[in-house]
Amino acid sequence: MPPEQPHSPRRAGPRKARVPQTARLPRRAARARPWTASRGRAAAALAARERAELARGVRFRSAYLTIMGVVLAVAALNVLLGAFGLVRETRSRPLTDAERARYVAQDVARRWRAWPAGMVFPEELPYTGLGRTQQYARRVGIAPEAACGSVVDAPVAPVLGEHGCRTLLRATYVDQTATFAVTVGVAVMPSEDARADAAADLPVDDRVGVRPVAFPGTVTDSFGAAQRQRTGWVGAGPYIVFLTVGYTDGRTRASVPLEEQVNSEMWPLAQTLAGRIARALGEPPDVPRCTQGNAC
């Protein structure tokens, strides 16, 4: 008989629990590794997309810069043209005939309100008396500015109103001997043409015109409508300068004989005073040669 094989005794200790097959954890699936060629194609596609987007951005930027360049160029051209036009308009140059005429008309037309009252109606005015002696009429007073129709006679008022009379200024003078009183009235018309048209329509009657202005406490105290001996007018620029003259002692026109109504000194005095005031208002001013003075 074959000899018995010695057998070693089992080590004592706790036995490991046998895990059943069904309870074992499944193994992780192995990751799929892309091929080297696939990675290369993906990188190439990505690079192509990036290049396409970059090219599109470059095109958009170029278009934007082109548009902005055009806008800036147009703006710069407009600024240059505007600056050139401004320099051309503001630089000194000789006045044209039309500009000279307009300058004169505007200067004359604003004198009635631009000048002080003492320039429109000077305190003293020279005239030639009997024997061709130089004498001076003295201003007694200046009446307040009035509406045209309120200080003229009825036949004259509608004519002034029809042609746009703006206002009427009046002052009264006496001669050097205080024998005669003269009221001078300045009717302000819109233009020289309006003045000429109104003058053509005024009644030819030396008994109507501007009403006299009397100043209480002076030698003209009794100078009224009944005392005026004669009326008239003279034109200058946009102004109709009326005049009315009479005695300071209260004599009426009806009380003076017909042969004395045309006094050899009274009427020339009135014409001289009205004419001097009209000439001063309508005298053309000195016109500069250029738009910015006399230096072009």
Better-predicted residue by pLDDT, 171 or 29: 171
Provide the whole-model pTM.
0.68
**What is residue 19's predicted lDDT score, i.e. its pLDDT?**
46
CA angle 259, 260, 261 (to 5 degrees): 100
pLDDT digits (tens, 9 = 90+) for 132-149: 889 999 999 999 999 999
- What's residue 88's pLDDT? 65
At 186, is the pLDDT very low, low, confident or very high (cuts 50, 70, 90)? very high
* Beta-strand relationship, 180-188 and 167-174: antiparallel
Share of the chain above pLDDT 70, in %: 80
Of residues 15 and 218, the one with the higher pLDDT is 218
Average pLDDT, rounded, for the chain:
84
What's the pLDDT band for 9 if we cut at 50, 70, 90?
A: very low
Q: Which residue has the tokens 């009224």?
A: 224
Residues near 184 by beta carbon (within 8 Å), at least 6 away in sequence: 121, 170, 171, 172, 173, 210, 241, 242, 243, 273, 274, 277
Q: Which helix H or strand E contains 193, and what residues bound it?
A: helix 192-201
The secondary element (H helix, E strand) that includes residue 46 is helix 36-90
**Range with the lowest mean pLDDT among 43-57, 107-121, 140-154, 224-238?**
43-57
At 84, the amino acid letter reads F
Q: How confident is the model at residue 69 (pLDDT cuts 50, 70, 90)?
A: confident
* pLDDT tens by residue, 281-296: 999 998 888 877 666 7
What SS3 class is residue 118? helix
Confidence of residue 27 (pLDDT cuts 50, 70, 90): low
Judged on CB neighbours under 10 Å (0-12, 13-18, 19+), 166 is middle
Domain parsing of the chain, residue ranges = 42-93, 99-282
User: Predicted confidence band at 41 (pLDDT cuts at 50, 70, 90)?
Assistant: confident
Average pLDDT over residues 264-278: 93
